[in-house]
Amino acid sequence: MVTFPPCKINLGLDIISKREDGYHNLDTVFYPVPWTDMLEIIPARQLSFQSSGNLIPGREEDNLCLKAYHLLKKEFDISPVQIHLHKIIPTGAGLGGGSSDAAHTLRLLNAVFDLQLSTDRLKQYAAQLGSDCAFFIGDEPMQGTGRGEQLTPIELSLKDKYLVVIKPDVHVSTAEAYAGVKPQAPAIPLRDIIHLPLEKWKHQLTNDFEKTILTNYPVIAQLKEQFYARKAVYASMSGSGSSVFGIFDEPPKADPSWQSLAHWSGWLR
């Protein structure tokens, strides 16, 4: 069976407080983006994992797809499978590509072996794999709180808006991103801001990571400025970076040199 794990963008991201377990409480809105990897899982005589496309950093045994398989294997008598992941979504971009691959591995294994796991049960498994993995069990916008694993449906549609995503050639580690943040509750809750007219987001909807990341990495700040210069209604860094996205009413008319920077562009659903 084959599936196409999508990525996400973060619409606003408030770091509320530091937790005793070392994580942070946050508040964000996850929005699905139809830019996908490709994932195939078929029964096999022995467990194997292959990847193609973009290089995946780290050890193979640490890949989240394999971790998802072993997580279910602990509780269900599932047979070995062959996993092939074709990686298109860039890593270290704040787009959740690895988390999506993990969540869709759970979804696909549930279908392949007819485990009949409910959506809520799948989300519980996904939350064990990563803070934003649970979001990718569904396909709808969600407000994420706690570590990001506590999900609440939110009425929000960017259908017929045009999205452009650019991932500059810099890496921002999660540890570095959090080190530059001073946790605090926002003056206005994100859930109130997200329901304002889109043209008001520019001055109200913020990503706390940008306060230091844009200073430390001028190329990211420049990209955000370029989005607004080309009439983006809203532009932001996604997650802890380093990708930057712009939301437009229509495809931007820009010089070919700028258009060539785009890693993905298309209409949102």
Q: What is the pLDDT of residues 243-254, one digit of tens each?
A: 999 999 999 886
Instruction: Say whether the peptide bond before residue 242 is cis (omega within 30 degrees of 0).
Output: yes
Q: What is the pLDDT of residues 124-151, one digit of tens each?
A: 999 999 989 999 999 899 999 998 989 9
Per-domain boundaries in the chain: 2-153, 162-267
User: Does pLDDT of 255 surpass 80?
Assistant: no
Q: Which of 49-53, 119-123, 174-178 has the lowest mean pLDDT?
A: 174-178
Q: What is the DSSP letter of 207?
A: B
96-107 pLDDT tens trace: 999 999 999 999
Q: Which of 8, 87, 167, 224 is catalytic?
A: 8
Mean pLDDT value of segment 6-33: 94
**By percentage, how much of the chain surpasses pLDDT 70?**
99
Task: Among 3.30.230.10, 1.10.10.10, 1.10.760.10, 3.40.50.10440, name the CATH number for the domain at 2-153.
Answer: 3.30.230.10
Burial class (CB within 10 angstroms; exposed 0-12, middle 13-18, buried 19+) of 77 = exposed
Catalytic residue among 87, 132, 167, 208: 132
- In DSSP terms, 7 is beta-bridged to 33
CATH 3.90.1720.10 fits 162-267, yes or no: no
Question: Cα separation of 131 and 151, whole Å?
Answer: 11
114 within 8 A of 79, measured Cβ to Cβ: no
Region 13-34 average pLDDT: 92
Instruction: State how far the Cα of 162 lies from the Cα of 33, in Å rounded to an integer.
Output: 11
- Asked if residue 62 has pLDDT above 80, the reply is yes
DSSP 114-135: T----HHHHHHHHHTT-TTGGG
Residue 100's pLDDT is 97
What pLDDT was estimated at residue 262? 80
Concerning whether 8 is annotated as a catalytic residue, the answer is yes
Q: Is 169 a catalytic residue?
A: no
Please give the model's pTM, rounded to 2 decimal places.
Answer: 0.94
In sequence order, the 6+-apart residues with CB closer than 8 A to the CB of 145 are 25, 26, 27, 152
C-alpha to C-alpha distance for 139 and 1, rounded to whole angstroms:
19
| 14 phi and psi angles, rounded to 5 deg | -105, 125
